[in-house]
Each structure stands twice: as C-alpha cells, then as structure tokens.
Structure 1
Amino acid sequence: MRVTLTLLAGMALAGSGSASAQNTSSEVAPIIDVHMHAMDDAPWATPVCPNQARFEASDPKNGPEASFGWSKEECSPKLYPAPKGEYMKMVLAEMERLNVRGVVFGEPDQVKKWQAASPARVIPGTSFGRVAGSDSAKQLKMLEVAFGKDGFKVMGEIGLQYEGISPSDMRADQYFALAEKLDIPVAIHMGTGGSGRANVAMPTFRGSMGDPLLLEDLLARHPKLRVQVMHAGYPMIDNMLTLLQANSHVYVDIAGLIWSYPRKEVNRYIERMVDAGFGDRVMYGTDQLAWPGLMAYSIGLIQNADYLSQEQKRDILYNNASRFLRLEQPK
C-alpha cells in the first residue's frame, strides 16, 4: 500500500533500516538546507528507495538502461514524487513544519516564485549555464542583476562537471571573478553523479572533473572566494580532506550523497571529515529535486548518527551553514 507523502514525512522511521523524522513543534531547532532546486514538477521522477544497498551493472545490448542504475529492491520507507502541480507547495510545507530555511537554486524567475511563496524560508541562488559556446556577456549581465538588484545570495549550482570541464578552466573564470568581487559564495557540483551517468544519460559528464583538488588553481586566483563543494566531492575523500586542509574557507555539503548511497558508506564518509577535524565545515543539504519526504528522512540520518555529538549535529544542521552564508549567530 502506498504511503502518502504527508504520512511519510511525519513517521518515526526508527530501526536499523531507517531514520527518524524530526518532531513537529514550534520549538523545533532551526535547520538550513544548503542545496535545493526550484521547479514546478519532475515528470521524470519515480518512487525511490533512499540509501539503496547497491547500484546494478548494465549491458548496453539489453537497453534501455536506467539513468541512475538504482536496483529494484523493496524498501520501507519509499519516497514518492509530489503529485503534478504540488511539488513547491508540499516542499515549502515541509520546510515550515521542520523549521528549515533552504538555499534554492534555479532560473531567476523560478526561484523568485519560490521566494514570493515563502520569503522567510527561501534563500535565493542562481548560476550561469553552460560555458562551452555560451553567450558569456549575457550570462554575466543576468548574474549582475540577480546578485545586485534582485538580492540573490549564492551562485550555484555550478555544473561544470556535467560539461566535462574543470572548475579551474579559464572559460568559467569571469563568473568566479564576479562572485569574488561581489562577495557571493559559490556552490560547485563535484563528485557524485549517479551510477552510469556518463555512459547512459550525459556523455560529457566526467567523474575526474569532480576531483576536489581541481579547485586549487581557481582558489589561488581568487583567494577571497567562498566555495561550497557540493556532494562533498564524493567519493574522493582523501583529496577532499587535502583541499579542506589547504583552504580554510572551503565548505562541503552532503546533499545527494546523504540519501542516494548505502547508509554505511554515507556515515563513513561524513565521519571521516568530522574525525579529520573538519566538523565545522560540513553542511546539511538534500539536493531536493522531486520527493517532499526526502527532507524529513535525511534530517533523521544526521539526528540518529551515533558517531556525532549533539554539538556536531547542530553544526551540520545549522551552525556551519549560518556561518558560511553569514546569516546570523549560531543557535
């Protein structure tokens, strides 16, 4: 029997195979989700099992191949996409219920729609599109308006990896120079892209362009640039730690990673960063794309992490992002 999204988001998902959702109350401690997406609907979305145990191999002879390589395992809970036309309303309702503010990325007009619907919850973000063969003057003008008159706060999501381009490629440098000039943090996709992403769905995607150390030349050119490494550069943990050690204004988000890989692996990756001394630079995020129940589920993974202290959990769920975004004092 299908569990409704409202019920799913409010369930106490206790036990070894699940995580508990946050309590609903006006006294719920605030949370910041640094990685969300503004959209109306996601017609491509299907019900998913979070933290799947495996990614399946495929044979090009048998096609069509699944674009994310997820297995067909049964699970509880299962996350369902929002009904047509209900996505924004349902996600904003979850943000209100769970006391979440979110950095919402997308086209400026779409993000403004979300911000108008919930100005207290939505922190607006937008970015340039493709750099290969693009009209850079037009894109720069759009960004200048967005981060000037329109009050956008974060430049992201920057998806150079999907073009097979390094973040230090000079074709993108003018956009990063603008962000440094305006003192706007940038959020760059690095790492995870889904099983089979390059050979099935996006032939220009390159896993190697998600190496966190590719940021070094960019950071050397723009030493005041604040960088959010999306997906924490997964799975390149050693290089991620090397970059964090060398650059103290680089933060990571655990969005996407937190729910789309096996739970043991997710916890091990987060624990490595915290144990290495970088617990003050790990930020919570969902990579919210289609499933409103995803927020409660992924918050529960942090709340139930027995390797984190209460102070470390609050840092990940709120304090680190508040500092990175320069919002207010930690709570």
Structure 2
Amino acid sequence: MKKNIIILFVLLHQSFFAQSQTKIIDMHIHSYTDSDFGDREPSQDYYGKKGSKDAESHRIETFAAFEKFNIVKAMVSGNPESVENWVAKDDDHRIIRGILMFSPNDHEMDSVKFEQMVKDKKIEVFGETAPYYGGTTLSDSIWQPYLRICEKYDIPVAVHTGGGDPGGTYSWSPKARLKLGDPYLIEDVLVKYPKLRIYMMHAGGEDWPEHAIRLMAYYPQLYTDLAVMLWVEPNTQRYVKEFLQNIKEAGYLNRVMFGSDQMTWPYAIEKSINFLNSLDFLTEQDKEDIFYNNAARFLKLKE
C-alpha cells in the first residue's frame, strides 16, 4: 500500500511539472535555403541519425517541434532569405529574426545595410555571430561598427563560444582555431559596450565552461544559452551537466537560457528538452527559468 502511494505521488509530481512547464523559448535555432542546406553539417550526427532531407522538410519538422513542445518563441539564424521564408510561414509569430555571420561581409553586408535591416526589423538579434569560424573574435575592430549599431538600437547579440565541428578546419571553415572560442576573448566587447545585451552560445563549450562562469560573474549583463551541449554527444552532455551544477552553486543560473542548436536535426529539440528535464539537481523552478523565464527577461518580452 505504502509503495503504491509513493508511485502515485511520483506520477502526480511528474504530471504537475508537465502541465506547469507551459512555455519554452528556444534561443538557438538554424534555418536554411536549398543553396546552403547541408553545406556545413555532416550527413549524420554522432548517433548515426540522418538530418532532414532538404531545407523545406527541415522547416516543417522544426515547426512541428515548436507546436509539440509549446515553443512560443525561437531565435532563428541563417542567411536572411531563409529567415524571412520562415517568418512568412510562421502564423503563430514565434520567430525572432536572427542572422548567421562568420565574417562581417557575409551576405554582402556592411554597416549601412545592417543598420537599415535593424530599422526595418529584419534583424532582431545579431547572431549567431561566429567569428571563430572566420578566424577572428568579436573584439576585433572589423566587428565594432555592428556592435555600435546593436547598442544604439538595443539589439541583442548572440556570439558563438567554444569549438566547432571536428574536422571543420579541413573543410568549410579553414580559418577556425580552437583558441578563438575562449569566452574571455569577448571581454573587451563587454567593457566597451556596457549597455549591450549579449549572450554566449554553448556556454563556453567543452573547453571553457569555467571561463564562461567567471565572465558572467564579472559582467552581470552577460547571459548564456546551452545549445548543442545538451544533445550532440555524451561528452558535451557531461560538460554541460557539470556547468549547470557549478553555475547553480555560483548563483548565476538566472542567466542561463535554453537553446537546442538543432541544425539539420530537428529531433534534437526533443532530445535537448528531455536531457535538461532529466537533471535531478535542478528544481522545477530552475527548469522553468531556463526554459522560459530567463530568456523572456533577456529579450524584454511583454506578456
């Protein structure tokens, strides 16, 4: 009898959490057009899972995940054409327009064009910015015109931290170097633009999770997402588990946001959610904050 009561309590507890976790914000989604679909990602992930077959299938499958898991907002980055294609088909107004840039002149961009896109609300988050892949850092002079515009218009910035895909240096990102992913390399940006809303992607990756925590301790405006660390392979999951334990103990969990970084594998959204929910050292409130509340505060969303 006592055993049955305990089981019932556990089931009710799980049911309550499932109902209370009503909203999710995904701060790290990628979009593609047919012209760039699969250019950067391998044909299958670590687990042998193949990605979507093409750009439109990927969008449809990702939108289905949004619906299934009540993802009410998603920061989507890709080339501008792909992002606008997603927005045009987004009847539920979930998409927050981002832009994927490895170098400051990607998409034939310059500061004049960039500022006009910001004014036209074609860019709502400057990111994913990934200087790592282009052989630079966000602190380099070539990125400063964009950052000044972001601070001027209060546009959040999302910057890649940590490494990249193994072997990428030998193929599509020849200028990438592991040392460029160190979160400490964005410190000059934090000093120069104290009003800038900025978040790290991947929480420093496998290499510098402690650097990410130390940087957040020094700069209270700095947030982070978790992204690919939640699902891509067991080793990244090990690191992000340790990161979450450490940052909770340090007292900065209120600036950690959910992101899936599903790339061409929309199933990674569910996998990321399930892994985060499986961490028993996080309370229900911790999870609610990571899934929604912290990002809502960062984005200045109005209910």
Which residue does 1:5 correspond to in 2?
Answer: none
Q: Match for 1:174: what amino acid? A: P
Secondary structure (helix, strand or coil) at the match of 1:256 reads helix
Q: Match for 1:304: what amino acid? A: S
Which residue does 2:217 correspond to in 1?
Answer: 245
Measured in 2, the distance between the counterparts of 1:203 and 1:279 equals 35
Secondary structure (helix, strand or coil) at the match of 2:117 reads helix
1:121 to 94, 104, 109: 94
Please report how far the alpha carbon of residue 162 of structure 1 lies from its aligned counterpart in structure 2 after TM superposition.
1.0
Q: Structure 1 pair 109/293, CA: closer, same or farther in 2 (3 Å)?
A: same
Measured in 1, the distance between the counterparts of 2:101 and 2:106 equals 10
Q: In proportion to residue count, which structure has more helix?
A: 2
Q: Structure 1 pair 210/114, CA: closer, same or farther in 2 (3 Å)?
A: same
Are 1:83 and 2:80 matched, yes or no? no
Which residue does 1:6 correspond to in 2?
Answer: none
Q: Structure 1 pair 183/40, CA: closer, same or farther in 2 (3 Å)?
A: same
Measured in 2, the distance between the counterparts of 1:240 and 1:28 equals 27
The CA deviation string for residues 192-223 of structure 1, in whole angstroms up to 9 with x for no partner, is 31234335653210111111111111111111
Are 1:181 and 2:152 matched, yes or no? yes
Which residue does 2:264 correspond to in 1?
Answer: 290
1:106 to 78, 83, 93: 78
Q: Structure 1 pair 26/302, CA: closer, same or farther in 2 (3 Å)?
A: closer
* TM-score under structure 2 length normalisation: 0.84
Which residue does 2:281 correspond to in 1?
Answer: 307
Report if the CA contact (8 A) 1:127-1:143 is conserved.
no
* TM-score under structure 1 length normalisation: 0.77
2:163 to 192, 201, 205: 192
Report if the CA contact (8 A) 2:30-2:263 is conserved.
yes
Secondary structure (helix, strand or coil) at the match of 1:173 reads helix
Which residue does 1:30 correspond to in 2?
Answer: 23
Give the length in aligned residue pairs.
Answer: 278
2:142 to 167, 171, 174: 171
Measured in 2, the distance between the counterparts of 1:135 and 1:107 equals 9
Secondary structure (helix, strand or coil) at the match of 2:242 reads helix
**Unpaired segments ≥5 residues, structure 2:** 1-14
2:253 to 279, 299, 302: 279
Report if the CA contact (8 A) 1:79-1:293 is conserved.
no
Measured in 1, the distance between the counterparts of 2:291 and 2:21 equals 12
The CA deviation string for residues 60-112 of structure 1, in whole angstroms up to 9 with x for no partner, is xxxxxxxxxxxxxxxxxx64312334111111111011111210012222211
Measured in 1, the distance between the counterparts of 2:161 and 2:238 equals 21
Please report how far the alpha carbon of residue 305 of structure 1 lies from its aligned counterpart in structure 2 after TM superposition.
0.9
Measured in 2, the distance between the counterparts of 1:251 and 1:215 equals 13
Q: Equivalences for 1:247-266 in 2 at 5 Å?
A: 247-262=219-234, 263-266=237-240
Which residue does 1:146 correspond to in 2?
Answer: 117
Secondary structure (helix, strand or coil) at the match of 2:261 reads coil
Of stretches 121-130 and 310-319 in structure 1, the one that deviates more from structure 2 is 121-130
Measured in 2, the distance between the counterparts of 1:237 and 1:137 equals 34
Report if the CA contact (8 A) 2:102-2:133 is conserved.
no
Q: Match for 2:189: what amino acid? A: L
